[in-house]
Structures are given as C-alpha cells and as structure tokens.
Amino acid sequence: IRAADPEEAVTRSLKLENGKLRVNTNLFDLKGKLYLVGFGKAAYKMAKAALEVLGEIVEKGVISIPKGFKVEEELENVDIVFSGHPKPDAGSIEAGKKILKLAEQADEHDVVLVLISGGGSALMEYPVEEVSLDDIAYTSILLMNSGADIYELNTVRKHLSRVKGGQLAKAIFPATTISLIISDVVGDRVDMIASGPTAPDPTTFQDAWFIMEKYRLIEKIPSNVRSYLERGLRGEVPETPKEGDPIFRKVYNHIIASNIASLRKMKKKAEEIGYNSLILTSMIQGEAREVGKVIAALALEVKKTGNPVKPPAVILAGGETTVTVKGSGKGGRNQELALSAAIQIKDSEGIVVASVGSDGIDGPTDAAGAIVDGYTVVKAYEQGLNAIKYLENNDSYTFFKKVGGLVETGYTGTNVNDFIVVIVV
C-alpha cells in the first residue's frame, strides 16, 4: 500500500532539474506557464505532493475531491472543489467547467499537469448540452441494474460528456498534457481510468448504441440521451478523439501507481524475509466466492506438492472480484473471498489467506477485508456458527466479527484494487 501512496508516487515520478520538468524518463521545457488540474479520491494528496516539488511555478490549479474529505491545509494557487461520489452532483459539474476553462486558457508553450485517480469519473463531469446530469445518472443506473460492466458503462458515459474519452486532452491542446495516473482499473487501461479524459478513446457512438440494444434499454433511457446518441450515429456531433489524432502528439500519460507495482514490492519484501514468492496475476476478476475456492486450491497444492512454488511460500494476486448478492447479510468482496477460502482450507495446518481492499474499505463495512487459516472455520463451529450458511447469506462481515479475522486499517488514501496474500509453510 505504501508503494501506491499518492504522495510517494508523485514524489517518485516528478522532478525539477535546472528549470526543466522531469516525469519519469521524459524531460519537458517550461517555456510557458504550468497549470495543475486533478480529480479523484487521491487528488488532494497528489496535488499536495506535486506542489512540494514544483512550488511557485504552478500558475494556477483546480482539483475535485469527494465531499467530506478532510483537507489538512489549503493549497497555494489551487482551487479545491468538493464533488459527489459515487454519484456525480452539481459540484462535479462545477469542477468539470472550471477544469475545462483552465485547460482552454493554456497555449502551445504551456504545460498542464493532470492528476488522475479512482473516482475521477464521478468527481469531474460536464454533460453535453442536450443531456442533464440526472439523465446520465438514470442511464447509468439502468445499465448497472442490467448487468453492464465498467467498460460498457464508461463507453456510454464518454459519449454523453464534454470531458471524458480524451476530450480534456483536446481542450488542453495545443498545450502539452502530462497525466500522472493512479490506476484503479484491472489491466490498467488508461482509456478507462476515470473514463480516460486524456487518452485516445477506442469506443464509438455505434458501440454506445449497441450496448443500449444489448440490454434492451433503447426505449427505457431518457429521450434526451436517445436522441443525442442517434445524432452521434448520424455524424451530427463529433466523435471522441481517436488514436492518431494530432492532439495526442503532445499528451504523455504515466501510470505512477498500480496493483502490479504494489505486488512487485510485496514480492520483494517476502523474498527479503526468506519466503519463496510468486505473483499469480494482477487481473483477478469473477465471483468472489469462486475465486476464494481457486485460491484455496492453490494453497493446498503448494502445501501438498510444492507446485507452483515450494514452501515456505508467499503467493500474491490482485484485481477486483464481484459479489452477486442473494442473501440479506453484510459483507464485502474481500471478506466473502476469504470466508470461501476458509471453508476450503478447514483443518489444514500452515496455510494463511488474506484478501484486502487497498483503499481500506471493503463494501459497506468498516473493514478492509479478512484474514483466515485452517482453524477459522473450526473455531466458528466451536461457537455454534455454520460458515457455509454465513457465506450463503452474504454475511461474511458478521461471521468475522464473531469469529475474528477482520482486517481494519481505516481509509488508506489510495486505491489500486484488491490484494490477495497466501502464505504456506
């Protein structure tokens, strides 16, 4: 989690050298003005770190952060807008307008530093003229309730917005765009993180329309949304900017923190203290309880045969699972995964499984996740608790509250998805 800390990640990536700006391996002349914009759950910490590096050379800035976020101090020359998350609100539109206005002020000699993190999609919004924020919110709810995934949801959102899908980069052009990105998207697709405001958009109005047809929503979506998408299909409104557009010759997107980067740090630490270690994947997806079974099977295999790594071993994985809620209990995807794994490793010695959210929040609970071993379920039975019934009722939080095993970190200030750690000795 320290590897994904917003302040550390920005400080690692950003340097001033003899009046020039170094971002990782790229060096930029600062002939003109330097502007700063940011949006996402980590925007405040990212901006604070950037200002510590850049100081007074930042001409002006605007960041959008979640309502309720406790600001330690005001930021020099940076306007802070408090916006809605996960549901965008009037603050989100105010942020979108202010950021777009600042972007359009920049000329060809200027640089705009864009700080992007998870939650940015809701925290910065500026709908197209014909569509209201309520229209977008209602359309999003229809899609989510129909089973649309984040890629489909963002495809539609991009085509109803003036800032998403590369359109912020278009507004910044002819100035130079430098984006520092903390990825909360499995696979680190820049065009999907915060709906890709500075990335070429591979999706089209045709794709957005197809998604509506796929979920049979054409007649259910607001008429304003339907008519705008129809205009897009007819070519009456411009497409989002695509790969090869000249604007992207002056755009530099840098992922500065991600799930895989954190897993690599964890692997190094495990090896330093004497464990054989393996990164399984940073792209785990699927039903949490099913992933829990696979993780448990892997742990049992390592214990029995030494494959794919010999004990003492640490196996690491990351990604983001889902929970299909059928019960009435309380829990989160990490706690559900851990409970499922606990059932499979019952009575096994020398196996520990932990699953946690890097942001310190797992579902609607105050825990980051849970940690289990071969005795977790045994201990529950001794208390008269049936682990399988708790899993069936999606009640993992209550189970761990009674038996023990909750991991409680508080909000960490970053988000690079979830971590799964398996220890076998």
Cα 10-11-12 angle, rounded to 5 deg? 90
- Left, alpha or beta for 93 (phi > 0: left; psi -120 to 50: alpha)? alpha
Dihedral Cα 210, 213, 218, 222, nearest 10 deg: -50
The one-letter code for the residue type at 301 is E
Using an 8 Å Cβ cutoff, are 168 and 100 in contact? yes
Among residues 319, 320, 278, the alpha carbon closest in space to that of 423 is found at: 278
Q: What is the spatial distance between Cα 411 and Cα 394, in angstroms, rounded to a whole number?
A: 23
What CATH number should be reported for the domain whose range is 2-126+161-203+240-257? 3.40.50.10180
Band of the pLDDT at 201, cuts 50, 70, 90? very high
Mean pLDDT, rounded, for 92-106: 97
**DSSP 8-state assignment for residue 85:** S
Question: For the residues of 204-261, what is the DSSP string, one character each?
Answer: -HHHHHHHHHHTT-TTTS-HHHHHHHHHHHTTSSPPPP-TT-GGGGGEEEEEEE-HHH
Dihedral Cα 202, 205, 210, 215, nearest 10 deg: 100
pLDDT for residue 340: 98
**Does 1 or 321 have the greater pLDDT score?**
321
pLDDT for residue 1: 81
The pLDDT tens digits for 284-304 are: 999 999 999 999 999 999 999
Report residue 136: phi and psi, to 5°: -65, -45
pLDDT for residue 149: 81
Helix ranges restricted to H, 76-201: 90-105, 120-123, 133-145, 150-158, 167-172
Residues spanned by CATH 3.40.1480.10 within the chain?
260-424
* Three-class secondary structure of residue 169 per DSSP: helix
H/E stretch holding 272 reads helix 259-272
pLDDT for residue 87: 84
In this structure, of 142-146, 171-175, 176-180, 193-197, the range with the lowest mean pLDDT score is: 142-146
Using an 8 Å Cβ cutoff, are 82 and 93 in contact? no
Report residue 282: phi and psi, to 5°: -110, 10
Q: What is the spatial distance between Cα 103 and Cα 365, in angstroms, rounded to a whole number?
A: 38
Would you tell me the crossing angle of helices 133-145 and 150-158 to the nearest 10 degrees? 160
Superfamily grouping for domain 260-424: MOFRL domain (3.40.1480.10)
Cα 39-41-47 angle, rounded to 5 deg? 55
For 140-155, letters b (16+ CB in 10 Å) and e give bebbeeeebebebbbb
The pLDDT tens digits for 204-256 are: 999 999 999 999 999 999 999 999 999 999 999 999 999 999 999 999 999 99
The pLDDT tens digits for 332-365 are: 999 999 999 999 999 999 999 999 999 898 988 9
Structure tokens at 146: 């129909």
Dihedral Cα 13, 15, 20, 26, nearest 10 deg: -20
pLDDT for residue 162: 97
- Cis omega before residue 241 (within 30°)? no
* Three-class secondary structure of residue 279 per DSSP: strand
**DSSP 8-state assignment for residue 321:** -
Residues spanned by CATH 3.40.50.10180 within the chain?
2-126+161-203+240-257
* Three-class secondary structure of residue 418 per DSSP: strand
pLDDT for residue 38: 98
Q: Which residue has the tokens 């405040």?
A: 44
pLDDT for residue 326: 87
Compute CA 156 distance to the chain's CA centroid, rounded to the nearest angstrom: 18
Q: Is the pLDDT of residue 68 over 90?
A: no
Q: What is the spatial distance between Cα 66 and Cα 83, in angstroms, rounded to a whole number?
A: 5
Average model confidence (pLDDT) across the chain: 95
